[in-house]
Amino acid sequence: MKDNNEKKLRVAVCGATGYTGIELLRILMHHPHVEVTAVTSEKSAGKRVHELFAFLSAYAGLVYEPMVREKLLAKADLFFLALPHGASQEAVHYLFSNNKTVIDLSADYRLTDPGTYAEWYGLLHNYRKTLKKAVYGLPEINRKKIRKAKLIANPGCYPTSAILGLMPALRGKLVNPDALIIDSKSGTSGAGRKADLAVSFCEVNEGFKAYGLVTHRHTPEIEQELSALAGKKIFVNFTPHLLPVDRGILTTIYAPLIKKADTMAALKLYARAYAEEPFVRVLPEGVLPNIKNVRGTNICEIGVKVNPRTNTLIIVSAIDNLVKGASGQAVHNMNLIMGFNETLGLEQTAFFP
Amino acid sequence: MKDNNEKKLRVAVCGATGYTGIELLRILMHHPHVEVTAVTSEKSAGKRVHELFAFLSAYAGLVYEPMVREKLLAKADLFFLALPHGASQEAVHYLFSNNKTVIDLSADYRLTDPGTYAEWYGLLHNYRKTLKKAVYGLPEINRKKIRKAKLIANPGCYPTSAILGLMPALRGKLVNPDALIIDSKSGTSGAGRKADLAVSFCEVNEGFKAYGLVTHRHTPEIEQELSALAGKKIFVNFTPHLLPVDRGILTTIYAPLIKKADTMAALKLYARAYAEEPFVRVLPEGVLPNIKNVRGTNICEIGVKVNPRTNTLIIVSAIDNLVKGASGQAVHNMNLIMGFNETLGLEQTAFFP
Amino acid sequence: MKDNNEKKLRVAVCGATGYTGIELLRILMHHPHVEVTAVTSEKSAGKRVHELFAFLSAYAGLVYEPMVREKLLAKADLFFLALPHGASQEAVHYLFSNNKTVIDLSADYRLTDPGTYAEWYGLLHNYRKTLKKAVYGLPEINRKKIRKAKLIANPGCYPTSAILGLMPALRGKLVNPDALIIDSKSGTSGAGRKADLAVSFCEVNEGFKAYGLVTHRHTPEIEQELSALAGKKIFVNFTPHLLPVDRGILTTIYAPLIKKADTMAALKLYARAYAEEPFVRVLPEGVLPNIKNVRGTNICEIGVKVNPRTNTLIIVSAIDNLVKGASGQAVHNMNLIMGFNETLGLEQTAFFP
Amino acid sequence: MKDNNEKKLRVAVCGATGYTGIELLRILMHHPHVEVTAVTSEKSAGKRVHELFAFLSAYAGLVYEPMVREKLLAKADLFFLALPHGASQEAVHYLFSNNKTVIDLSADYRLTDPGTYAEWYGLLHNYRKTLKKAVYGLPEINRKKIRKAKLIANPGCYPTSAILGLMPALRGKLVNPDALIIDSKSGTSGAGRKADLAVSFCEVNEGFKAYGLVTHRHTPEIEQELSALAGKKIFVNFTPHLLPVDRGILTTIYAPLIKKADTMAALKLYARAYAEEPFVRVLPEGVLPNIKNVRGTNICEIGVKVNPRTNTLIIVSAIDNLVKGASGQAVHNMNLIMGFNETLGLEQTAFFP
């Protein structure tokens, strides 16, 4: 361990009034080796964290400040950026260039090809050299690279659930990567914390709909990572839906088998692939994930079943979009980079109900 | 019209304390040509409808009775059976043999092949001659047959949403019927009205899960009807999920294109197919269904989109599982059989929010 | 009846994209004597109703227009105003002065004392003569006056539930009017349709809180009407709370008994008071209201019980805040003014679940 | 501290498949000085905890056993009893008589007068000597007694919220104890984990109702403790309501002032009374509690306001019914008895949203 009680890691959270920012503060509150030394917010600058969020009582002294880069630089050694995409590009570059460790929760450094980024986000990428230094922060795939990284592109919530669901099947050449269907359903916190009629209670409650059909920006991110696993360029059908719950993503994946396999064989493959992973729970035969079982935790639950009538592998994965799909994974990445115990700060159990 | 105000159609609802039974009573309350003359319930026999369900105030005089077939026979001319599967088999046969018109909301007369029924429901079918008389009551497909029928097998809720979603594409030979993915999400009323920990508030609320993976009993029903539309025997991947809402089914369907088509072409095909249908609403380009928009109504909303990157037609359909997926469709069938205006009793608008 | 099929009443709905405006359109869709000839909205001017709200399919031809008074004047004979308070003052005056019938759903003409209005709403009332012409539109109290009125101040949602709950007890001198506790809980649609973080799904869902403690603007409206019933000026404790549901207000009222009475005696008093009322349902002993039983209806459910240990009458009332608490009551008022059957357009049953 | 890592306290949880039992296991999972050595369940005997509740992953080795008293005796030193009332009476007596420390979460040992218990619970109390040894386990009132106790009657959820809300006002002689109104609203987990139509999703969701009017069994418990604080026998109006959320109780209390006081004076009194309490958070002026802010935590939030128009003190308190209202308070009591740090195991933060 590189750390001790006397000298904690100084951490800043930029964009700390949104759901992922608040979630970072919640998780870091219980991290023994971390001290949050700065939080930024343009709108709430001058207010105390505790004033806005009484349950974050441990941060009694912490005051929001506007994001003035030069001022921030001295205040922390590691920066979590929970800013909107576009807004992150330059900030990441600045901090990284000044030798800070950066974990970026936006999409700005996830796509390795700036052309794809331009196509889906409608923005030019102005920091291509820095982009090349970014490591895609999915520990179950990139643990070794993450340990040595100084710049993490923290994965999107939908991609996390899709990639973890497909990784063993693709690596094991069990399924045809050219005909993958990824049907995802997300809780409303995935839309962010904002004044917007579309996410107001009465519009969402008792409703359910698909959105972003064919055009959702997580599509190229999923394709990039699955292509790497498949060893060839692939396209996927990815459809997100909006669930009337606070938290959670459940992703149902359909993949045509190209090897003979029954459910037990598939389960063995998955169990083996994730045997050493502290945050992936492969469920026994006949048990299926429920987003309620992973709420508030960094766990990804996975259930698999073979449909012998159609020769299809069906995979269901569940995560908390704000934890394993964002802030929890970001802290996991920090733990890896700093050489801390991987699970520090992330031991919280789901509560039930 | 075969009816007038002086002589209303006498109707019995068997199994009238479950959600579909109550929904039948709600709809029939506003039907100008119908008088509900008998309601059955074993547990609530002797109680007045109004006593259990104060909002069904128009039935002040109606008392639940146990289902004694001989007694019931004289009380009505048309029978809605909202009984569990298995329990319906014999009752349908008895009433039908005694020249009554029967609309069966159970699964007992939906599968034309008794072998398939035995395989999926674990029950022998003892009335094969009667089974042959049953017409599958999906008006958009079987309107003519329904008009002449005396025995209707009212479709299941999931099958209704899947078949309406696929009918134009299959009839138009637009998609490959051998690789269909049907991913459905249903509100909790679909599980029925019962004391069961699995549907208790705290287990369902803030949760979301898949269930009945590969084994759900609506699978052979979907396959039977889609096979008829495709002109060949097909198998499908059908996955139901449980939504933490009262009502509604949203079904997302993935079908590989076998003809060149863009979204506008697909929309035209769908709009034409349903142009005359009072209860199907094909949405304009860019608009997608939401279960909240069809709550309490007999409407099926359909949105379609072509994914040109994967050459796939994506169809999203939404219904209220208790109305278009059960009791509303049953009343629609009654209207057709009796020669009433098709939409009588079914004009109710969704309320919002 | 002053109306027939050939010549329907021409009605305008001003502010027809908010929840009460949409609800007016939903109810009026099924009203046999009404034609909606104009709808206003500043933001959505130029769009068709049907485009924004597909379920309002009957209004295919209706297009939103900005509220240009002179233009509107010729288009309708009766105006529903579903505008924010303050915005209604002048519009009501203009339409009323031009001999139109006006039903104002805002608070602007509810308080008879302009001083009280100024104190609680922070606005001067500039049309005091017009204000004197307004009738408080609670049919159970003011039916006769409403029948002759040309200007209706449609009651607030909380006041409707409180006043109906207390009217028989106050008129019957059963309780002490000087120590009334009115504890109300409202669904989120009561806050209106708007982009506002405070009513976003993730802030409201799984939460519950009191708000507007001591300062809520419905307080003087409740006091004004209860004072009239009590025959003396009274003050009340009124506390609103925010429920994570779409619709419904449940109000629990505590009133010290000043006469000897048990639950049966109180129930008789209530049953007698409301015996002729089509929209008030006094529940039998031991049965209590639930907002779910009145959703989408114009019904007010009332249950009462005496606590003999504290000598207190406890009254629970439930309404749908958008129907009996707003748009349904407004249509009821229109029916009274026009001499239509009182229940026209308002027969819709609650659906369950 | 009486404990160390080598020798943990051996704890049994009896009735460990209900919501309070599961919650005890969740909390104790993170308690550094405790080892759970036995869990009982009649229905699930033989199954592993982990099998039923995958998120309780730390209890991989623990197997449910039937409650055979003699067998249990040797297995633990401290017993949490999360059994239904009535079932606890004899079990508590047996364990206590055998020198075990017992924390009883049922109502069986809360009422000091066996006559009151018989009247409200319909059961005779057979262990009156043991009953006299029980300490009512509300640490904010009885901390000193709890420290020396061997038998704790853990408070009910509603009483906890009511008593904490009123304690400073009653001790400070600020309000009239003879006219208290306690209006409580509880999440559905308060009804327990059971197969029961009344708590099924579709009956509870989008609904809200009062229940147990005048007759709820927590009434005498509230009156017993408030009488002690008031120094005289009092009766209260207590009304529980059912909220469509998983967790949380919000209690709104109305108390007539008998001293002159404004909101600031009342707030000072409350802040002083709870200044040293780790689990009570008195909110600043203008801020009111929300059950969402205390979910999953042992915190009681309290807001107060004076209504000068009616001379009434209004108090709003919020707790998580399963934590501060049950299992968290039970662990707090254990910490006090064992001399552990009071907050051990109870540091969990609410998550948001």
For A4-23, the pLDDT digits (tens) are 456 899 999 999 999 999 99
Mean pLDDT in residue range D224-240? 98
Q: What is the pLDDT of residue B6?
A: 62
| Mutation target among C53, C197, C201 for the A interface, most CBs of A within 10 A | C201
**Interface contact flag, D206 C292, Cβ < 8 Å:** yes
Q: What is the pLDDT confidence band of residue B1, given thresholds at 50, 70 and 90?
A: very low
Is A204 within the bounds of a domain?
Answer: yes
Q: What percent of chain C has pLDDT over 70?
A: 98
Chain B nearest C-alpha distance from A26 (Å): 20
Chain C nearest C-alpha distance from A204 (Å): 7
Question: Are D166 and D129 contained in the same domain?
Answer: no
Mean pLDDT in residue range D104-109? 98
Question: Are D163 and D308 contained in the same domain?
Answer: yes
**Quick check: A31 contacting D, CB < 8 Å?**
no
User: Using CB atoms and an 8 Å cut-off, which of residues 309-348 of chain B contact chain C?
Assistant: 347-348
Is D307:C212 a contact under the CB 8 Å cutoff? no
SS3 B131: helix
Question: Are C128 and C218 contained in the same domain?
Answer: no
Mean pLDDT in residue range B149-167? 98
- Facing C246 at nearest CB: one of A19, A205, A245: A205
Is A88 within the bounds of a domain?
Answer: yes
Q: What is the pLDDT confidence band of residue C350, given thresholds at 50, 70 and 90?
A: confident
Is C185:D241 a contact under the CB 8 Å cutoff? yes
Q: What is the pLDDT confidence band of residue A60, given thresholds at 50, 70 and 90?
A: confident
What secondary structure does DSSP assign to C2-39, as a single string?
---SSSPEEEEEES-SSHHHHHHHHHHTT-TTEEEEEE
Q: What is the pLDDT of residue C60?
A: 83
D312, pLDDT greater than 50: yes
Is D343 within the bounds of a domain?
Answer: no
pLDDT in tens, A117-127: 999 999 999 99
User: Using CB atoms and an 8 Å cut-off, which of residues 171-200 of chain B contact chain A?
Assistant: 179, 181, 183, 185
- From chain D, the residues in CB contact with B202 under 8 A are 19, 188-189, 193, 199, 246
Residues 6+ apart with CB under 8 A from B277: B140
Look over chain D and give the mean of its residue pLDDT values, rounded to a whole number. Answer: 96
Look over chain B and give the mean of its residue pLDDT values, rounded to a whole number. Answer: 96
- Facing C54 at nearest CB: one of B189, B293, B351: B293
Residue showing tokens 């090897």: A259
* Stretch (H or E) spanning B144: helix B139-148
Report the candidate in D140, D112, D92, D136 with the shortest Cα–Cα distance to residue D281: D140
Please identify, among B133, B165, B192, the residue that sits at the C-terminal boundary of a domain: B133
Mean pLDDT in residue range B148-174? 98
Is D56 within the bounds of a domain?
Answer: yes
Q: What is the pLDDT of residue A204?
A: 98
Q: What is the CATH number of the domain that holds A101?
A: 3.40.50.720
C173, pLDDT greater than 50: yes
Q: What is the pLDDT confidence band of residue C349, given thresholds at 50, 70 and 90?
A: confident
Question: Are B301 and B176 contained in the same domain?
Answer: yes
Question: Are C121 and C185 contained in the same domain?
Answer: no
Mean pLDDT in residue range A92-101? 98
What six digits make up the tokens of B179?
């690789």
* Stretch (H or E) spanning A224: helix A218-230
* CB pairs A-B closer than 8 Å: 149
- A157 as an active site residue: the answer is yes
Is B152 within the bounds of a domain?
Answer: no
SS3 D294: coil
CA–CA separation, D1 vs B15, rounded Å?
Answer: 64
Q: What is the pLDDT of residue A26?
A: 95
What secondary structure does DSSP assign to D224-289, as a single string?
HHHHHHHTS----EEEEEE-SSSS-EEEEEEEEBSS---HHHHHHHHHHHTTT-TTEEEPPTT---
**Quick check: B29 contacting C, CB < 8 Å?**
yes
Q: What is the pLDDT of residue B65?
A: 98
Mean pLDDT in residue range A251-276? 98
Chain A nearest C-alpha distance from D135 (Å): 29
Q: Which domain holds residue C45?
A: 9-133
Question: Are B127 and B227 contained in the same domain?
Answer: no
- From chain D, the residues in CB contact with C303 under 8 A are 210, 213
Beta bridge partners of C246: none
Question: Are D93 and D218 contained in the same domain?
Answer: no
Report the candidate in A251, A239, A242 with the shortest Cα–Cα distance to residue A301: A251
Mean pLDDT in residue range D91-107? 98
Is B93:B130 a contact under the CB 8 Å cutoff? yes
Question: Are C163 and C300 contained in the same domain?
Answer: yes
Please identify, among A133, A148, A180, the residue that sits at the C-terminal boundary of a domain: A133
Q: What is the CATH number of the domain that holds A189?
A: 3.30.360.10
Q: What is the pLDDT of residue B350?
A: 85
A2, pLDDT greater than 50: no
Q: What is the pLDDT of residue C57?
A: 82
CA–CA separation, C144 vs B263, rounded Å?
Answer: 59
Question: Are D126 and D173 contained in the same domain?
Answer: no
**Interface contact flag, A206 C244, Cβ < 8 Å:** no
Chain D nearest C-alpha distance from B98 (Å): 36
Q: What is the pLDDT of residue C140?
A: 98
Chain C nearest C-alpha distance from B271 (Å): 15
**Quick check: C208 contacting A, CB < 8 Å?**
no
Residue type, C49: V
| Mutation target among A237, A238, A262, A267 for the B interface, most CBs of B within 10 A | A237
- Domains in chain A, number: 2
**Quick check: D54 contacting B, CB < 8 Å?**
no
CA–CA separation, D78 vs B128, rounded Å?
Answer: 65
Question: Are D33 and D100 contained in the same domain?
Answer: yes
Q: What is the pLDDT confidence band of residue D1, given thresholds at 50, 70 and 90?
A: very low
Q: What is the pLDDT confidence band of residue D3, given thresholds at 50, 70 and 90?
A: very low
SS3 A252: strand
Q: Listing from the earlier edge strand, what are the strands of the sheet with D312-319?
A: D209-210, D237-242, D181-186, D249-256, D312-319, D300-307, D280-282
pLDDT in tens, C30-88: 899 999 999 999 999 999 998 899 889 889 889 999 999 999 999 999 999 999 999 99
| Mutation target among C55, C193, C202, C242 for the A interface, most CBs of A within 10 A | C202
Q: Please, what's the largest Cα pairwise distance for chain B? A: 62
- Chains interfacing with C (3 or more CB pairs < 8 Å): A, B, D
pLDDT in tens, A18-45: 999 999 999 999 899 999 999 999 999 9
Beta bridge partners of D182: D238, D253
Is D351 within the bounds of a domain?
Answer: no
Is B95:B79 a contact under the CB 8 Å cutoff? yes
**Quick check: D351 contacting C, CB < 8 Å?**
no
Q: What is the pLDDT confidence band of residue C6, given thresholds at 50, 70 and 90?
A: low
pLDDT in tens, A194-242: 999 999 999 999 999 999 999 999 999 999 999 999 999 999 999 999 9
Q: What is the pLDDT confidence band of residue B349, given thresholds at 50, 70 and 90?
A: confident
Question: Are B161 and B310 contained in the same domain?
Answer: yes
**Quick check: D244 contacting C, CB < 8 Å?**
yes
pLDDT in tens, C241-263: 999 999 999 999 999 999 999 99
- Facing B26 at nearest CB: one of C26, C29, C351: C351
**Interface contact flag, D54 A287, Cβ < 8 Å:** yes
- From chain C, the residues in CB contact with D244 under 8 A are 243-245
Is D237 within the bounds of a domain?
Answer: yes
Is C146 within the bounds of a domain?
Answer: no
What six digits make up the tokens of A353?
């109900």
Q: What is the pLDDT of residue A6?
A: 63
Minimum CA–CA partner of A249 in chain B: B208
Chain D nearest C-alpha distance from C311 (Å): 9
Question: Are B128 and B216 contained in the same domain?
Answer: no
Please identify, among A133, A148, A178, the residue that sits at the C-terminal boundary of a domain: A133
A1, pLDDT greater than 60: no
